[in-house]
């Protein structure tokens, strides 16, 4: 807005100068001095350029909209099954996305999260070390955490079987029901994410961590992912 006002001010001044010179040109007629004619020609070019600039539509101000509004975020859950990524060697030894998921369900005051199952990938570039460190962080928060290893990070079946096994054999002894546990499939490999998604289906809660806010104040927040059961008829 200020830039446009500045342009309008300059245009008004040049128009006023042009009108005065044109009046002098009309008075002199054919005897108009060359320097006046040259200045008139230059001013006409500048005025036309400024008018074209002002004629362009002003860019619309982008209304900020959260990528994940509050009503699309999951409720805090006392149980979390989360796939652990390898972290960043130089930036952070932990998986910042998995840590953000833990922090979210832990809550700022209520300390909702009580049980956490950390699914780590094996191999040289796996996330077992990162998961172990996250387990220690959970202990500091008073959260019961366990690390479970997926030997083949590129096997959909292995992650699928593990998630199903956890719901059948680990969740009930913790005092939680399936509805009390949410699964985060953000980290890890695509096959691991696919295995978790297939294991959850339409019956179990899932989430995906996204960045929300405006730079430089971006924060990781979860998006609630839900699949509706489909019944084919006919």
Q: Is the pLDDT of residue 93 over 60?
A: no
What average pLDDT does this structure show over 73-90? 85
- pLDDT of 214: 60
Rounded to the nearest 10 degrees, the angle between the axes of helix 96-106 and helix 128-141 is 20
Dist CA 145 CA 126 (whole Å)? 19
Per DSSP, the three-state class of 23 is: helix
Give the start-to-end residue ranges of the domains of the chain. Answer: 2-55, 70-225
What average pLDDT does this structure show over 151-160? 96
- pLDDT of 74: 95
Tallying the residues shown for the chain, one arrives at 234
**Confidence class for position 101, pLDDT limits 50, 70, 90:** very high
Number of H helices, E strands in the chain: 6, 6
- pLDDT of 87: 61
CB environment 197-221: b (16+ within 10 A), e (fewer): bebbeeebbbbbbbebeeeeeeebb
DSSP 8-state code for residue 142: T
Instruction: Pick the range with the lowest mean pLDDT from 11-15, 57-61, 130-134, 179-183.
Output: 57-61
Q: Among 3.30.420.40, 3.30.1330.10, 3.40.50.10770, 2.40.420.20, what is the CATH number of 70-225?
A: 3.40.50.10770
Highest-confidence segment of 85-99, 111-125, 213-227: 111-125
Per DSSP, the three-state class of 72 is: helix
CB environment 33-61: b (16+ within 10 A), e (fewer): eeeeeeebeebeebbeebeeeeeeeeeee
CA torsion sign for 98, 116, 193, 74 is: negative
Q: Is the pLDDT of residue 56 over 90?
A: no
Q: In what order do the strands lie in the sheet with 79-83?
A: 144-150, 115-121, 79-83, 181-184, 205-212, 219-225
Please work out, in degrees rounded to the nearest 5, the angle formed at the alpha carbon of residue 218 by the alpha carbons of 99 and 133: 15
Choose among 148, 104, 103, 153: nearest CA to 124: 153
Dist CA 37 CA 26 (whole Å)? 11
Q: Is the pLDDT of residue 91 over 50?
A: no
Q: Is the pLDDT of residue 88 over 60?
A: no
Take residue 130 and report the two structure tokens written for it.
């990162």
- pLDDT of 65: 57
CB-CB contact of 212 with 122 (8 Å): no
What average pLDDT does this structure show over 66-71? 79
CB-CB contact of 121 with 150 (8 Å): yes
Take residue 210 and report the two structure tokens written for it.
């996204």
């Amino acid at each position: 807005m200020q830039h446009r006002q500045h342009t309008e001010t300059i245009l008004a001044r040049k128009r006023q100068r042009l009108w005065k010179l044109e009046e002098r040109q009309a008075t002199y007629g054919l005897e108009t001095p060359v320097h006046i004619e040259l200045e008139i020609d230059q001013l006409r070019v500048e005025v036309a350029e400024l008018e074209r600039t002002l004629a362009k539509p002003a860019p619309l101000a982008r209304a900020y909209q959260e990528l994940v509004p509050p009503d699309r975020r999951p409720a805090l859950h006392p149980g979390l099954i989360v796939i652990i990524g390898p972290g960043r060697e130089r930036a952070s030894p932990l998986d910042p996305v998995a840590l953000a998921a833990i922090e979210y369900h832990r809550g700022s005051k209520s300390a909702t999260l009580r049980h956490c199952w950390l699914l780590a990938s094996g191999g040289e570039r796996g996330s077992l070390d990162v998961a172990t460190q996250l387990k220690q962080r959970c202990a500091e928060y008073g959260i019961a955490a366990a690390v479970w290893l997926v030997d083949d990070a590129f096997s959909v079946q292995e992650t699928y079987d593990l998630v199903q096994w956890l719901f059948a054999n680990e969740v009930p002894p913790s005092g939680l029901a399936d509805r009390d546990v949410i699964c985060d499939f953000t980290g890890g490999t695509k096959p691991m994410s696919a295995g978790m998604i297939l294991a959850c289906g339409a019956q179990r809660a899932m989430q995906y961590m996204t960045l929300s806010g405006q730079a430089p104040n971006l924060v990781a927040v979860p998006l609630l992912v839900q699949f509706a059961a489909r019944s084919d008829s006919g």
